[in-house]
Amino acid sequence: MKDFWFIVFIFFLNLPFGYWRAKVRKFSLSWVLAIHVPVLIIIGSRFAFHIPYKFITLPLNVGAFFIAQYLGGKYYLIKSGKENV
């Protein structure tokens, strides 16, 4: 059950970072930070909450990360009118 809530945490953590990433120029320092800062937060959280590494949950963690980054970016594009729905 702990793994499920950690995946939910990863997802909701990355939504605002995906939103931020979509607003900045690609490959700029801000863009790189929008991708890598949540990774550091996730690693720190894993240690802080004593969540052991399990190989079986790795695809779910990575999937939650990328899906949330994608959806956060999509939300920005739709909200700003840069992409048609």
What is the per-residue pLDDT for 83? 77
Q: What is the pLDDT of residues 15-63, one digit of tens each?
A: 999 999 999 999 999 999 999 999 999 999 999 999 998 999 999 999 9
Residue 85 pLDDT level (bands cut at 50, 70, 90): low
- AA identity, residue 24: V
At residue 2, does pLDDT exceed 70? yes
Q: Would you state the torsion angle of the CA atoms of residues 60, 63, 69, 75, taken in this order, to the nearest 10 degrees? A: -100
At residue 84, does pLDDT exceed 90? no
Locus of tokens 């990774």: 39
What is the per-residue pLDDT for 39? 97
Domain boundaries, the chain: 2-80
Tell me the whole-structure pTM to 2 decimals: 0.91
Q: Which residues contact 72 (CB under 8 A, 6 or more apart)?
A: 14, 15, 16, 17, 18, 19, 20, 21, 22
